[in-house]
Amino acid sequence: MIRMLLILSAVLVTPMWPTVTTAQGDYETGRRHWLQGNYLDSYTTLLDFRKETFARKPEVDYMIGTSACRIDCCRGWGHRFLGTLPESYSLSVESRKLVDTEVRLCQLAATMPPPVADGPDKLRSMVAAGVSGRAKVFSTPDMSVGVTTYPARRVRDIPAAELLDRLTPRRDAARAVAVASRLAETSNVVAYRRFVIASLSGHSRADLDRIADVLERFLEFMTDRYGMALPDRYVTIYLVPDPVRLRRAAVRLHGLDVSPGTIGYAFQEDLSVVAFVTGTAVGTVLHELVHLSVRGNFGDIPQWLDEGLAGLYEVSTVYPDGVFGEPNWRGDVLKALWRRRPTIAAMIATPWFPFDVPESRSETTDISSPQAEDQVAFMATARYVSLFLERQGHLPAVYRAVRDRDIMAAQRPSEAAKIALEKAFGASLEQIDARFADWFSKGVPPTSKIRPTGAPGAEVGKEIPVKRELPR
């Protein structure tokens, strides 16, 4: 019997609306300087703005880099900094061409024309923090079945004021419940310490309490372990009973058309997650919550680390002392595609996959195409390398090293990752890759086999649609 696996990927996408930050005025000031050709003022203002919550965005870095390219003292730095954007952000094909053009212009070190005036808008192309299910139904061993899919696409603009009005300070639980009830069109809404959960899936109060306990502990763990940051606002979790209802909710709540295979996404502008969850297994929510939380102070996270970290916790166990990843279905995928998997050196240097590549929009998507297989193998590798780093005790240090890389030296994410990995293991990337391959080949045990006795935990898993629920 062929085992059907939904290969889930998460795509970094950047909002069209003002981000949740305490210094939006600094962004507007920097953008105004940039449009007026006051590049030194734009450069200094936006570099300072970049330190704020949710401020690391491709349009911000584009304006910083193109400004530096037009300042005599900083042209070399601007050229190198612009060159880091494809590793740091999911750029559309159009946006990547725009960046490449500016990189070439900057390299000429001659009198430069003004940058494309609508360049920042071109880089603000998509509208959610992550999307799970933006990929294929993948079958092993013959890989014969696929599903039409495409990235999330905006079909209706939501006014900026409306999105901002959804954000509720944590001191006002009653308002948060009222807002979520109105938007979800349900009275089954409960506010907790950091979360408001609105269920359309028939959850009881006891179910929601259990879910909230996992989410609260998980967010506390991620904040402590990785230093993730979110504004002091409620995060709203919308739970729906099937992917069809999720698609309807995406249009109603956020003006998005999402793929039929999507089982969850996070929306940065109103701090929300929408997920297909019918029981209390909330791995999908944890996956999306990583995508949402990481962008508070690490919006320029490379794809391998973003997907690897989110994938790590989609199937995990919550222990009293933390949350730890478990082996999951991506391991079977990695075995099936082992010959196509990237080495660790190649993985950390891979730019973000463009979100609007022709293969992703095809009406006759071929899951066995080289491009599809390479992306699937990449995502599975990223997840299991993250699990390997966690088991070796090195994941937080590598994460922080890449997040805190020296942008004033225009250090690429891959450069920071290479230094951190080789320091952690005391070995070259090639040697680390060989250790990973040996570790994986021996079989990855569950945490219950490697933790001391007497440390019980509750496993969290993804709720994956069965084949019949996915159109072909």
Count other Cβ atoms within 10 Å, centred on residue 1: 3
Tell me, what's the pLDDT at 134? 44
Q: State how far the Cα of 256 lies from the Cα of 249, in Å rounded to an integer.
A: 9
Count other Cβ atoms within 10 Å, centred on residue 3: 11
Q: State how far the Cα of 90 lies from the Cα of 81, in Å rounded to an integer.
A: 16
Tell me, what's the pLDDT at 379? 92
- Sign of the dihedral through C-alpha 254, 258, 260, 263: negative
Q: With contact defined as beta carbons under 8 Å apart, do 142 and 22 qualify? A: no
Spell out the residues 6+ positions from residue 429 whose beta carbon is closer than 8 angstroms to its own.
343, 344, 345, 418, 421, 422
Q: State how far the Cα of 312 lies from the Cα of 108, in Å rounded to an integer.
A: 43
The CATH 3.40.30.160 portion of the chain extends over: 3-14+128-469
Count other Cβ atoms within 10 Å, centred on residue 31: 18
Q: What is the DSSP letter of 2?
A: P
What Cα–Cα distance (Å) separates residue 353 from each residue in 287, 349, 371, 376, 419?
19, 12, 10, 11, 23
Tell me, what's the pLDDT at 132? 72
Tell me, what's the pLDDT at 466? 37
Q: State how far the Cα of 54 lies from the Cα of 122, in Å rounded to an integer.
A: 19
Q: State how far the Cα of 431 lies from the Cα of 123, in Å rounded to an integer.
A: 38
Tell me, what's the pLDDT at 13? 35
Tell me, what's the pLDDT at 18? 35
Tell me, what's the pLDDT at 38? 96
Residue type, 83: G
The backbone torsions φ and ψ at residue 234, rounded to the nearest 5 degrees and listed phi first, read -70, 140
- CATH number for the region 3-14+128-469 comes to 3.40.30.160
Please calculate the CA angle 302-273-248 and round it to the nearest 5 degrees. Answer: 115
Q: Is pTM, for the whole model, over 0.85?
A: yes
Residues paired with 460 in a beta bridge: 316
Tell me, what's the pLDDT at 17? 32
Instruction: List the pLDDT tens digit at each of the 472 positions of the chain.
Output: 323 333 333 333 333 333 444 455 799 999 999 999 999 999 999 999 999 988 999 999 999 999 999 998 899 999 999 999 999 998 878 889 999 999 999 988 666 788 988 888 877 765 567 777 544 333 333 333 223 345 677 788 888 899 999 999 999 999 999 999 999 999 999 999 999 999 999 999 999 999 999 999 999 999 999 999 888 999 999 999 999 999 999 999 999 988 888 899 999 889 999 999 999 999 999 999 999 999 999 999 999 999 999 999 999 998 888 899 999 999 999 999 999 999 999 999 999 986 554 444 444 444 445 567 888 899 999 999 999 999 999 999 999 999 999 999 999 999 999 999 999 999 999 999 999 999 999 999 999 888 765 556 666 766 444 332 222 2
Tell me, what's the pLDDT at 460? 73
Tell me, what's the pLDDT at 295? 92
Closest CA relative to residue 186, chosen from 122, 144, 239, 232:
239
Peptide bond into 169 cis (omega under 30): no
